[in-house]
Amino acid sequence: MNLQNFLRMLVRVLVALPQEIAVALWRLVIIFLLLLLLLLRALLELIKRLVGKRCEKRNEREKCGEIPPNVKRKPDPCLYDQFYLLSLGYAVTWDNPDIWITLPDGTPVNSYDLLADTDYLVNAQIHDASFDPALATEVRCLYRPWSFNSPDRVPVELNPDGTERIVILHIPPWSQEIAQFHWHTPKTLGHFCLQVECYHPDDKNPNNNLGQENTQVVGGNAGQMIHAEALLFNRVETARRIRIEADQYRIPEGKIELKLATRTLPLRNKAPFDAIYNLLLRRDARGGIKTQNGYAPVWISYAYRGWEQLREGNSRGKFPIRAPWQLKVNGEDVAEGQTAELTLEPKQQMKIPIDAQIPAATAVGTRQSLNFTAYAENGKILGGVTLEVEVRT
């Protein structure tokens, strides 16, 4: 400590002394008041205990490594997750807007009609639905046979050492980034579904991290009956009653506007008689006299409100297949909100035939979405496929 620092310290102490004395005496007054109130409270609780009422338990103390809420950052990497949306009551398409395939030069291709033994680029758009950036988000991409829910998932791209290639993205808040995977399709011709998963170790919401691209584009003429098939699996050890629903939902065009809401909380433990407790003053070592709330770190958090706007135009059950379209799944009519039901034995797989009658009066160029979702009897979502019917002549 040099002379300059010594003199500064002396002046600071002389200035601070009267304030500290005043603050300490005020604290004593408030402390006595709180003491009286706490004694009264303790007496009432004793009476309650004596007449048999239970007292509240304190919360557990946090662990040593816990990061407080005003310092920890919690991103929410996500993508169009059909399972998550269905569970919230939204209609879905299995033509995932966040997954698309191109040739290496960027030319878009249809995800169903891929050539064997050919190079493609799978593009996976990952969003961050948080005010905190999603740093080091892991993205995986897998394919499986064209089906509702085949268990055979294979990574689309491998590293030179044979391990699965995982793309790392750093996504700014409320923004999105694209992960690209190089896919050399198998030598045997086939049709595939794609799954993209994102992962973050501190994900605010890990339930919206799995997207599927299960789309078949089928061309037909007006008046024609078109036919498609998709495998359905029963992966469990017991027989399962499965229900298949169909709709003609499509993600609408348009935008929504969300508004910012802010919450400010003083980050301190709540005390009994908190309003009076907050009258305790303290002279902050950095300068200034503050209340308990003013002295505590402040936790400002944000949210965007207005998500309920999405309900309109996207709710499940509001887009049944309407006449004159006719649609059968496994021989059963699924138009107008009806469902097809079937039973699968344990570990059984079954090819589900889908037959759609294009109305004779359908204009050329019409593109009709037909979404099929399979549910187990307890409502568990098993998977789905989308047929995009293009009327060509």
Partner 1 sequence: MPRNLPQYTKCAAPGGAYAIDGLSVAGMLFAGAIVGAIGGSVYVIVMSLLGQIATAGCVVGVGVYLLLIAGLLEFKDWFYNHRLMCILHDQCACGTVVGQPHDGTDGDRKFEILIAPFDVPETEQLLIQTLVEMGTAGTLVNVPDAVDLQNRQVRFGYFRGLSAADQIKVYLNLVDNHLFNQPGRGYLRFLYRRDQMIMGAAAFAASPDDAITASNPNPMFRVNAQEGNDPEENVLVPYMHCELEGNRLARWLDNVLVGLIAGFAAFTAFCVLCEVITMGALDFLCGWGGAAVSALIAFLAWLLSHLLNNPDDGVAGSPDVDVEDPDFDTPPSVARHGDVAYLFGDWVMDEEHNKYFEIHPIKAWYLLCQSERNPDDWELTEEIPAKECAFDVSKLTEEDFQRICKIVQAVENTDPDDKFTTTISHALSKGPR
Give, as ranges, the residues between 273 and 302 that touch partner 1 (CB under 8 A). Answer: 277, 280, 282, 284-286, 295, 297-302
Q: Is there binding between residue 333 and partner 1 (CB under 8 A)?
A: no
> How far apart, in Å, are the Cα atoms of 371 and each of 93, 134, 153, 365, 382?
6, 32, 22, 19, 14
Q: Is there binding between residue 364 and partner 1 (CB under 8 A)?
A: no
Residues 78 and 75: their CA atoms lie apart, in Å, by: 10
Within residues 75-134, the interface with partner 1 by CB under 8 A covers: 76, 78-81, 84-85, 88, 90, 97-98, 125, 127-129, 131-133
Q: Give the burial string for 222-241 (b: 16+ CB within 10 Å, else e).
A: eebebebbbbbbbeeeeebe
What the block records as the tokens of 223 is 């008046």
Residues 194 and 100: their CA atoms lie apart, in Å, by: 9
The per-residue DSSP string of 143-190 comes to EEESBSS-S--EES-B-TTSSBP-EEEEE-TT-EEEEEEEEE--SS--
Residues 218 and 392: their CA atoms lie apart, in Å, by: 10
**Minimal distance, residue 68 CB to partner 1, in Å:** 5
The contact mask relative to partner 1 for 127-146 (x = CB under 8 A, - = no) is: xxx-xxx-xx-x--------
**Minimal distance, residue 363 CB to partner 1, in Å:** 25
The per-residue DSSP string of 189-209 comes to ---EEEEEEEE-TT-S-GGG-
Q: Is there binding between residue 314 and partner 1 (CB under 8 A)?
A: yes
**Minimal distance, residue 196 CB to partner 1, in Å:** 11
Residues 135 and 72: their CA atoms lie apart, in Å, by: 13
> How far apart, in Å, are the Cα atoms of 297 and each of 132, 165, 267?
19, 42, 5
**Minimal distance, residue 319 CB to partner 1, in Å:** 14
Q: Are 234 and 349 in contact (CB under 8 A)?
A: yes
Q: Is there binding between residue 317 and partner 1 (CB under 8 A)?
A: no
Q: Are 23 and 289 in contact (CB under 8 A)?
A: yes
**Minimal distance, residue 283 CB to partner 1, in Å:** 8
Phi, psi at 345, each rounded to 5°: -75, 165
Residue of 213, 215, 126, 219 whose CA lies nearest to 176: 126
Residues 334 and 344: their CA atoms lie apart, in Å, by: 19
Give the residue with the Cβ less far from partner 1, 5 or 378.
5
Q: Is there binding between residue 6 and partner 1 (CB under 8 A)?
A: yes
Stretch that binds partner 1, among 30-38, 146-154, 180-188, 221-229 (CB under 8 A): 30-38
Among 42, 70, 116, 119, contact with partner 1 (rule: CB under 8 A): 70
Q: Are 219 and 390 in contact (CB under 8 A)?
A: yes
Give the residue with the Cβ less far from partner 1, 154 or 225.
154
Among 217, 271, 376, 381, contact with partner 1 (rule: CB under 8 A): 271
Q: Is there binding between residue 376 and partner 1 (CB under 8 A)?
A: no
Among 54, 57, 59, 393, contact with partner 1 (rule: CB under 8 A): 59
Count CB atoms within 10 A of the CB of residue 159. 10
Give the residue with the Cβ less far from partner 1, 131 or 342.
131
Q: Is there binding between residue 268 and partner 1 (CB under 8 A)?
A: yes
**Minimal distance, residue 27 CB to partner 1, in Å:** 5
**Minimal distance, residue 40 CB to partner 1, in Å:** 15
**Minimal distance, residue 236 CB to partner 1, in Å:** 28
Q: Is there binding between residue 72 and partner 1 (CB under 8 A)?
A: yes
**Minimal distance, residue 346 CB to partner 1, in Å:** 32
Within residues 148-167, the interface with partner 1 by CB under 8 A covers: 166
**381-391 and 215-220: which strand pairing?**
parallel
Stretch that binds partner 1, among 45-53, 185-193, 204-212, 348-356 (CB under 8 A): 204-212
Q: Is there binding between residue 55 and partner 1 (CB under 8 A)?
A: no
Among 53, 54, 56, 66, contact with partner 1 (rule: CB under 8 A): 66
Count residues near partner 1 (CB under 8 A): 109
